[in-house]
Structure 1
Amino acid sequence: MAESKAPDSTRRSEKSRRAIYAAALSLVGENGYAKTTIEGIAARAGVGKQTIYRWWPSKAAVLLEAFLDLGEQAAEAAEAAGADGAYEIPDTGDLAADLKLVLRATVDELNDPTFEAPTRALAAEGIVDAKIGAEYAEKLLEPQAALYVRRLRAAQEAGVVRDDIDPRTAMELLTGPIVHRWLLRTLPLTHAYADSLVDYALNGLAPRPPRH
């Protein structure tokens, strides 16, 4: 008689977790965050709602973890496809070109419905829920900020950026306007806009002396 094997609870839990991630992201995209419920996520994922409550304290916590996992999957896919520097801003020696490349990618992501709905939901929820806001900043925003800081520090070492510039503040000059325009939805978020931010940040707003 063949020996029967006990079900692999680890594999079953991982399958359920993945189903819950997918359900949370899809429902927020389809119905919006306000109309998404734990019950709806459980039904879409094919699990009991107590399973969700056992792993997460709220739908915001579910969505945050699902969104972080989505980003990890995208990075892994890029790495598998042979993309270099998946976790770093490229350093080609041309700071403006490197910053424009990454800001254009940010524009594309914010305009992508897959990322847009959960990003908006988490940004809004983080304002009213301090714990979610802190976790969102720690796990997503700060690691992204660190990429800019490292690239700008490298530019300082190369003599391309002034030594007295604070890289973190410089990063906010580049990314803050993009987030502001995206949140307000009053003007289009485009590659041309991203390029102009880099030009303004690196070259300043003061008039330049005429060329002779």
Structure 2
Amino acid sequence: MKKFIVLKAFMALLVGFVSLGLLSCNDNDGPDIPPVKLQDVIGNYKGKLIISQGNNKNESIVGFAVKKDTIKFTDLPVKEIVKAVVKDPVKTEAALVALGKIKYNLNYTGAINTYYNAVELTFAPKTLELNIPMDGAIKKTIVTFAAKEKGFYVGQNYAMKFGLVAEKITVDGAVLTPYEMIKYDFPYCIKN
């Protein structure tokens, strides 16, 4: 009986060592991820945009094109910006219709981060100038954008993530006060 228990223990130990040995023979500890290149970022994207101001959040799907050093929006949502200037919901909608599609170019520089197999994007946002019609006059509005964090392009899933903040709005030369910052978060955008 004693020999049988020792034999069982020896077999269990042998099976354990063989299992560990087979696991350690696996050279491929993860999926093969091809390295990224700076030009991999270039293309057309579509993804989620979350615009938040205080406790208010709006989500939409937006599209944009990425060139060598610029992200080009052909229709940047500016409802929250116009609402901050106009205040009246009915006049805000009329102003948005009058403005039409808003084009905006966001400059960036890319650097390869090989450890994460991604391209880090450092932004240099330009101001956005809007001529908002209100009460028969045109309000010259300048929006100052900032990029608080770097953006990323991940080669494994062809996705981009970044964000912007509308830090300050100036209307006819005067800084808009009170004003709560508007955040533009692009948490997951996929290359078409």
TM beyond 0.5: no
Higher strand share: 2
TM range (shorter): under 0.3
Larger radius of gyration: 2
Higher helix share: 1
TM-score, reference length from structure 2: 0.25
